[in-house]
Chains A and B, each alone.
Chain A
Amino acid sequence: MSVVVLVEVEEGRASLVSREALTFARSLGAGDLHAVVVGPAPEAVVADCRDAGVAVVHEAGDPALERYAAAAWAAVVEAAGRAARADLVVAPGTGRGNEVLAHVAARRNLRMAANVVAVESLAPLVVQRQVVGGAALERATVDGRVRLLTMAGHAVEPSAADAPGAARVAPLALTIDPQDLRAQVVRVEKRESGDTSGLTAAKVVVGAGRGAGGPDGFAAVDRLAERLGGAVGVSRVVTSLGWRPHHEQVGQTGSRIAPDLYLACGISGSIQHWAGCASSRTIIAVNTDPDAPMVTKADYAVIGDMHEVLPAVLEELG
C-alpha cells in the first residue's frame, strides 16, 4: 500500500496546504508516503518532503509543463501513482488541487472526494468532507481501485514525521501528450505583490468582508490596520469580487493567520473563513448581525455598521 500526495510549490517551498496534506496522508498509516511535484523539485521542497516522512519524491521535468495545464498535471499525477503503485492519491483542496484530481478521476474513471476533513476508515475508505460551503459535513464512501481525495485547507496542522523520510528524488519518465495541452495557461498577468508574509506574521490583523460594501469601503480598515501596526485580511467574497487581491485572503483557500488580535469587520464567519483565523489569540467581531457566526464565536463583539464603528474607533485612538 502507498499514498501519493500532490505537492504544490509556492515561493520555492512546499505550500502550506501541501504540507498539511502530507501530514494528513502520513497520519493515515496507509503505507509508504510518496510525493509528486510537477516540474523539477526544488531542493527546499525535497527537504520539506523529507521532514514530512516522504520516501520518494516523483518529479516531472518535461519542459511542456512550464505553463500550467490541468490535464498535463493529471498525467503527471497518474504516472506517479503508477510508479508508486498507489491505492490512494491526495491533493491539497486548492483550486489547482481540486481541478487536477478531477482530471485524474475523469481519465481513470475513479471516484473523488473533495474537501475531506477526516478519514474514518481506510478499507473501505470512509471520509468526512465539507459540503454546502462547509455548513455541513458529509460522510461518504469512496470505493475503487485507486481512491482520490482532496484535503480541505487547514483541517490539520502540518508537522514533521518522527523520523525523516528518505525523500529519494525519482524523475518520472513521461512525455506529455499534446491533447493534454489544449487548455494551457498562455500567460499570467502578474499581481503587483503576491506576498502573504506580512499577513501571516502580523500581530494584529484587521479583517473585512462583504460588509465593506465595495472596493472603496476599505479606507477605515486600512487606516486602523496601519494605526495598530497590523495587516489587512479579507474574506473570499472580497477577493472573488475583485475588491482586494487574493494574497490578502484569510481562510481555507487563503492564508492561515495566528495574530494576537483579529478584528473581523463585516465578515459572517463561514467555516472556510474560520479555518484560517481560528488560531487567533483574541477575536473581536464588528457586524450588523448579532447572530452572525463570527460574532457568536468571537471573544468580543460590537454590533453595528463597520462604516460607522471603525471611524469612531480611529477617532477615539487619536
Chain B
Amino acid sequence: MTDVLVCVKRVPDPTGEVVLTPDGMRVDGRYAGYTTSAHEEAAIALAVQVAESTGGSVTVLSVGAAESVEQIRAGIAVGATDGILVEADPDLLGPADVAAAVAEALRVREEAGRTYGLVLLGNDAADTGDFQVGVRLAYLLGRPVVAGVQTLEVDGDVATLRGEGPEGTEVYEVALPAVATVLEGGVSPKYPSVVGRMKAKKAEVETLGWTGSPVGAGREALTVPEPPPNEVTVIGEGTAAAPGLVAVLRELKVVHG
C-alpha cells in the first residue's frame, strides 16, 4: 500500500494572454483564470494509478493563498482522497521556501501517523519555472529524487519510473520512500465525473500554516516582451489558398519537378 502526496500550484492559466498587475510584479490571473498546470495534472493521474494498484491513497497539497483550495478540490474530483492547504502568501515565497513548507507539512502528517511513500510534484511550475522545488524537497527529506518522470509503477517498496532522456527512454528503479517530478505526456489527465465533483465538495482539506522565514525568489520585476514589428502576408483561407501557397513555394525555389 503506497500513499502518495501530490503537490500542485495554483497558477494563472498559461495558455491565456499574459497580463501583468499594475506594479509589474505578478501575472494577473483575473482575465485568463487560474488552473493546475499540465505537469501537475499528470502527476495526479499517476498518483491515482499508484493508489489504485497498491490500495493506497492520494493527498493533494498546495502551498499558497486560500483560493488554492480550488486546485486541491479539482484533484480530489479526479480521484484524490483528501487535501492539505499550506496557507501562505505565494508572492513572498521562492522555490526553497515552498520546499520547506511542504517538508514541514509532511512532518505534521507524520507526527499524526500518516506517511507518504511517494511525493510527486510538477517538473517545473507553469508560472515561475524554477525547476527546483522537487529536488530541494527531496534533500530536506533525505530521499532520492527522479525528475522529468512520465510514467511510473510501484511494486512493494520499489518504484519503476520512466522519462525521456537524450538517447531514449530512461528507466529508474528507486527504493521508496522517494520523490519524483512529473512531465506531462505519459498519462492522460483525468476528467472529473459528477460523483467526483460531489466528493470533492465534501472532502476534507486540512489547513496548515508555515512558520519558516522566507528567503524569497529574488524577483525585481516582470515584463512581457513586445513582439518585433512584422507584416505577415496572408495568402488566403482554407483550401482556396492552396494555389497561392504553391506559387509562393515556387517563388522561393523550394519546389523541384
Give me the interface of A with B, judged by CB distance under 8 Å. Answer: 8, 10, 68, 70-71, 95-96, 98-99, 102-103, 105-107, 109, 111-115, 126, 129-133, 135-143, 150, 182-191, 194, 203-204, 228-230, 239-242, 246, 260-261, 271, 282, 284-285, 290, 293, 295-305, 308-309, 312-313, 315-317
Contact = CB atoms under 8 A, between A and B. Distances in A.
Nearest to A74: B135
Contacts of B145: 70-71, 183
Given A106-B139, A228-B255, A240-B185, A303 B237 contact: yes
A296 B230 contact: yes
Contacts of A302: 234-238, 241, 244-245
Contacts of B224: 135-137
Nearest to A113: B218
B164 interface: yes
B227 A297 contact: yes
- The secondary structure that dominates the A interface is mixed
A142 B223 CA distance: 18
Contact of B242 (A111, A299, A315): A315
B168 interface: yes
B204 interface: no
Of the four ranges (under 10, 10 to 19, 20 to 34, 35 or more), the interface on chain B belongs to 35 or more
Contact of A183 (B178, B255, B256): B178
A239 B145 CA distance: 24
A300 B135 contact: no
A309 B242 contact: yes
Chain A to chain B: the 7 pairs with minimum beta-carbon distance, closest first: A240-B185, A312-B242, A182-B144, A102-B132, A304-B238, A102-B135, A312-B239
Interface string B186-227: 100000000000000000000000000001011111111101
Given A70-B147, A135-B14, A189 B173 contact: no
Interface string B123-134: 010111111101
A301 B238 CA distance: 11
A303 B234 contact: yes
Interface stretch (B51-59, B74-82, B246-254): B246-254
Interface in B14-66: 14, 18, 20, 27
